[in-house]
A and B are shown apart, each in its own frame.
Chain A
Amino acid sequence: MASGVTRTKEPEQQELRQRFDRLAEQWREDCKHSSFVTDRAMHPAYQQIIGMGRDALPLILEDLQRKPDHWFWALRAITGEDPVPPESKGKLREMTAAWLKWAREQQHV
């Protein structure tokens, strides 16, 4: 396992996943009309996901693998990294690909 990802026990993982899913659903529903990542990233549910820290990392990456979405502020906040090249900024699929490539290199996925 790569550095920095907290190992959690099975019931705790389930609880984390349920909490993440609930928060992500609330975030998506509340922000569906917003045209700004800035607003989305400030949403309380998104902030709570950031607050989960490294425990949220595999859940965010798993979500990104299913469907590109605006997790980049959270990923940057949690990891301190920004693997997206300048030419890919604003291109959701390319940004997602850059983060998943980073995650594979770091053995997070």
Chain B
Amino acid sequence: MSSQRLGPEDDFPNLTDSNHRITSPADSSYNCIGWAAETTDWWEPDLWAQCYWLTEAPRQLTIPAFVRAYETLGYAICDSPDLEVGYQKIAVFAKGTLPTHVARQLVDGSWTSKLGELEDIEHATLGAVEGPFYGTVAVVMRRPAAAT
């Protein structure tokens, strides 16, 4: 599957034909935060509480709030995004202190991302979606794969 909507002309200058593939149709009903948690709901700590957010985590658009949210799902901060057998990883992206995106590692070490209201993609590296829109990886977390 391919798309004319992604690429250097958009907000993802590192995405190339060879480092990603689109794996779903565009869908505005879920976002990357829910997708990283293996749901198809819209997760967000919005102040008007229109979106789902874990009750154990602060309803704040901050990296610590995101870390707390995923901690409640069994994740803990780790050092490396490299594939580790027996662990599932997520990566929280940020621009400065503001979270922008979350990606989830797949069993082969590649990553899956939901891009806004657009498609899901599989990308070989986290750097593929870094750039002016999502910034850079701020935190990597892992949990035992058995917890999935």
Tell which of A35, A73, A82, A89 touches B31, judged by Cβ atoms closer than 8 Å. A35
B43 at the interface (CB under 8 A from A): yes
> Mostly helix, strand, loop or mixed at chain A's interface?
loop
Stretch of A8-16, A48-56, A90-98 with 4 or more beta carbons under 8 angstroms from chain B: A90-98
Inter-chain contact B116/A33, CB cutoff 8 Å? yes
Inter-chain contact A38/B47, CB cutoff 8 Å? yes
Stretch of B49-57, B67-75, B140-148 with 4 or more beta carbons under 8 angstroms from chain A: B49-57
Q: How far is the CA of A31 from the CA of B117 in the complex (A)?
A: 8
A109 at the interface (CB under 8 A from B): no
Inter-chain contact B116/A92, CB cutoff 8 Å? no
Instruction: Kindly state the interface size class of chain B when it binds its partner.
Output: 20 to 34
Chain B residues within an 8 Å CB radius of A32: 5, 116-118
Q: How far is the CA of A67 from the CA of B51 in the complex (A)?
A: 18
Q: How far is the CA of A38 from the CA of B11 in the complex (A)?
A: 19
Binding site for A on B (CB under 8 A): 5, 10-11, 28-34, 41-44, 46-53, 61, 100-102, 114-118, 133
Task: List 26 A–B pairs whose Cβ atoms lie within 8 Å, in order of A's numbering.
Answer: A31-B117, A32-B5, A32-B117, A32-B118, A33-B11, A35-B33, A35-B44, A35-B102, A35-B116, A36-B31, A36-B61, A37-B42, A37-B46, A38-B47, A68-B28, A69-B28, A70-B28, A76-B50, A90-B41, A90-B44, A90-B52, A91-B29, A91-B42, A92-B28, A92-B30, A93-B29
Inter-chain contact A91/B44, CB cutoff 8 Å? no
Tell which of A33, A37, A69, A76 touches B51, judged by Cβ atoms closer than 8 Å. A37
Chain A residues within an 8 Å CB radius of B47: 38
Binding site for B on A (CB under 8 A): 31-38, 41, 68-70, 72-73, 76, 82, 84, 89-93, 95
